[in-house]
Amino acid sequence: MKLAACINHVPDTAAKINIAADGKTIDKSGVTYVISPYDEIAVEECLRLKEKNGGDVTVISLGGDAHKETLRKALAMGADKAVLLRDDSVRDSSGVARALADYLKELSPDIVFFGKQSVDYDDGAVGVMVAEMLGLPSVSVVVKLDIADGKATAEREIEGGREVLETSLPAVFTTQKGLNEPRYPSLKGIMGAKSKPIEERPTSPVTAKIELLLMQKPPAKPAGRIIGTDVSAVPELVRLLHEEAKVI
Amino acid sequence: MSRFQGVDYFCIDELLSEDELLVRKTVRDYVDQKVLPIIEKHYEEGTFPLHLVPQMAELGLFGSTLPAKYGCAEMNNVAYGIVMQELERGDSGIRSFASVQSALVMYPIFTFGSQKQKDHWLPKLAAGLAVGCFGLTEPDYGSNPGGLITRAEKRSGGYLLNGAKMWITNGSIADVAVVWAKLDGEIRGFLIEKGTKGFSAPEMKGKHSLRASVTSELVFQDCLIPEENILPESGGLKSPLKCLSQARYGIAWGAVGSSMACYDVALQYAKSRIQFDKPIASFQLTQEKLVQMVTEITKAQLLCLQLGRLKDQGKEKFAQISLAKRNNVHEALGIARTAREILGANGILNEYPVMRHAANLESVKTYEGTHEMHTLIVGEDITGIAAFA
């Protein structure tokens, strides 16, 4: 079984993000980067399917040299091969999807996994766009997956419940927390990853369909106010909640 | 408290390889997710979290510098140090377990053992299927291990051991003990298996430090072991001292881990704790404390890294290891105490890790060569004059 996971290199979710002077990018100084957490679930699902059914796992990332760090981590977790689709430009989601789809068409895996969203821009669009471009069925936000007899049964989260779907293969899935618990790359895995290749591929430029105009941080939270410490403050609290905060 | 992001005031990460950074990420995440959520409970109850052993083995944290043919990761000494640092950011007791298993059990078996001993024990110890301990210190011989009185006598088909060891990490949970005893007046290493007649390992109770670690006595009363259980290449005090050098190297790194944990919590606390209408981090006295902490952490990081690079080239001197262990543990203890001061009364609660680290570091300062002995080791090295013995 040929398995692929598309993974992104993103700021650590615990990192403090500041917007750069151009107002359109983030200030990368002092920010550590990690594999996007949902993409880690995508890699883990590939590894589990490989362990169960055999096959090989290719991990793919679109970006510059820094993305090799994330590819190396996926190799250390147990992926067999990594591909860096080299691109130093800033792309919108459809541009990212185009480059990934072009490569995946050639690779033609049985299953392609994406994290349900990349935790940098949070578009949640690339996985399903790629499926569309490849003309493959896709199921997003998958929390359970069974593969048998050339078919996949996937469970996905919907508001207030779950939906169970069946699809033929090849197919694209985007992964949600709960599907699995990603393994840590072991020290042996890290050593083993050194001898695994990272193939670099050029990408064709695309015309952006969407232009980013401005990034803004949420307004700073005002400081808390203490309006009293005993029951006598209740009427004033009620008044403020009603008239000022407008929550009651 | 937000998740630990590392302390790297001098861009020291730039001196680490991609593999070394990845090792750190693995162990750091592991400690965040599996160690920190359970450690306070174990510390309070005085129990070692034994369930972590197979997990740490799976990650390859035991004997990580030893050859792959024994199931080990075969990484360099810097990566090994990073593992120790990250484990001790969790707790000195967890780091102690890994230190003992790696530096004091697997290392001597690898270095002084027969091929048969290596083939038998190393894969099991690497996989966490067996736990080891190291018995050198005795009730009356601590800083002066050369005087030890545990004795081995040659008997037909084996050796008869008599004596007692004390302050032995992992003793009561160990499947195999690397024990140092005098055979015809010469210190030799022996492997004693759990359950051998005449061997017992009662746990020492009542510790106010390293509570999430097992500390034991080892007692040998006419304990007869097979002839093949001697470590054939061991001989003289320098054999156990070589093991201690390995362990001390790991401790120098480990102390950086506790320091980082305490500094991180103190910095976050100082920025959020309001007194006199402003964060206490805005007061000069607090800033001076924080600056001192980050300064000492930076110095300790650079000491460790250069020591590790020297060790990878086989150029380190044992006195350099002494200097690093001595300095880094001393400073770590100071940092833990200062962090406690910054946290005020909150500093004594187990909601924060600082009191636990401070209490642990009191042991770390004394074990694997006391602070004082390391002073004299460096003193002898630079003057050529031994101030002891």
Q: Where are the domains of chain B?
A: 12-126, 132-229, 238-383
Cβ–Cβ below 8 Å for B29 and A14: no
Instruction: Check CB contact under 8 Å for B60 and A185.
Output: no
B123, B163, B93, B135: which is closest to B360 by C-alpha? B93
User: What pLDDT, on the 0 to 100 scale, is given for residue A207?
Assistant: 87
Quote the tokens at residue B7. Answer: 């302390």
Total-model pTM: 0.91
CB atoms within 10 A of CB B4: 18
Distance between CA B53 and CA B100 in Å, rounded? Answer: 13
Could you report the per-residue pLDDT of A35-67, keeping only the tens digit for each?
A: 999 999 999 999 999 999 999 999 999 999 999
The DSSP element (H or E) to which A38 belongs, if any, is helix A37-53
| pLDDT at site A208 | 85
Q: What is the pLDDT of residue B389?
A: 67
pLDDT of residue A197: 87
In B, residues 6-45, which contact A (CB 8 Å cutoff)? 6, 18-19, 21-23, 25-26, 29-30
Query: Do the Cβ atoms of B353 and B262 come closer than 8 Å?
Result: yes
**How far is it, in rounded angstroms, from Cα B34 to Cα B282?**
34
Of B389 and A172, more confident: A172
**Under 8 Å between Cβ of A5 and A60:** yes
Residues in A touching B9 (Cβ below 8 Å):
none
CATH fold of the domain at B132-229: Butyryl-CoA Dehydrogenase, subunit A; domain 2 (2.40.110)
pLDDT digits (tens, 9 = 90+) for B144-169: 999 999 999 999 999 999 999 999 99
Do B59 and A190 lie within an 8 Å CB cutoff? no
Structure tokens at A23: 């107002």
User: Does B148 touch chain A if contact means CB atoms closer than 8 Å?
Assistant: no
**In a 3-state reduction of DSSP, which class is residue B359?**
helix
Tokens of A20: 């750069």
In whole angstroms, give the CA distance from residue B89 to residue B200. Answer: 32
Q: Are A120 and A36 in contact (CB under 8 A)?
A: yes
Instruction: Give the per-residue pLDDT at A220.
Output: 84
Q: Are A46 and A55 in contact (CB under 8 A)?
A: no
Cβ-defined contact of B22 to A76 (cutoff 8 Å): yes
Smallest CA–CA separation between A212 and chain B, in Å? 30
DSSP-H helix ranges across chain B: 18-30, 36-45, 52-59, 77-90, 92-99, 107-112, 115-126, 238-272, 284-312, 318-342, 354-366, 371-383
Q: What is the CATH architecture assignment of B12-126? A: Orthogonal Bundle (1.10)
Per DSSP, the residues of A81-129 read EEEEEE--S---HHHHHHHHHHHHHHH--SEEEEESS-TTT----HHHH
Supply the pLDDT for residue A221. 82
User: What is the C-alpha R_g of chain B?
Assistant: 21
A170 vs chain B: nearest CA distance in angstroms?
33
Between B199 and A207, the more confident residue is: B199
What residues of chain B lie within 8 A of the CB of A76, using their CB? 22
- Residue A188's alpha-carbon distances to A34, A51, A73, B5, B180, in angstroms, are 20, 17, 12, 24, 32
The pLDDT, as a whole number, for residue B175 is 98
Q: Which residues of chain B are modeled with pLDDT < 70?
A: 389
B23·A190 Cβ contact <8 A:
yes
CB pairs under 8 A between A and B: 56
Find chain B residues with C-beta within 8 A of A14's C-beta. 2-3, 5
Q: How far is B169 from chain A (nearest CA, A)?
A: 24
Residue bearing the bigger pLDDT, A81 or A25: A81
Query: Cβ contact (<8 Å) for A186 and B30?
Result: no
Tell me how many degrees the CA angle A235-A241-A244 measures, rounded to the nearest 5: 115
Whether residue B368 lies in the annotated active site: yes
Phi, psi of A197 (to 5 degrees): -80, 150
For chain A, state the CA radius of gyration.
Answer: 22
State the nearest Cα–Cα gap between B295 and chain A, in angstroms. Answer: 19
Token couple for B336: 């833990």
> Mean pLDDT, to the nearest integer, of A157-173?
94
Residue of B18, B30, B61 lying closest to A72 (CB–CB): B18
Give residue-wise pLDDT tens across range B126-139.
999 999 999 999 99
pLDDT band at A113 (very low <50, low <70, confident <90, very high): very high
Q: What is the model's pLDDT at position B374?
A: 97
Q: Which of B2, B3, B5 to mutate to test the interface with A (most CBs of A within 10 A)?
A: B5
DSSP A220: P
Contact indicator for B255, B364 with CB cutoff of 8 Å = yes
CATH number of the domain located at residue range(s) B238-383 in this protein? 1.20.140.10
CATH number of A2-202: 3.40.50.620
Which of A69, A76, A184 comes nearest B30 by C-beta?
Answer: A184
Which residue does chain B place closest to A194, by CA atoms? B19
State the best of A177, A187, A226 to mutate against chain B, taking most chain B CBs within 10 Å.
A187
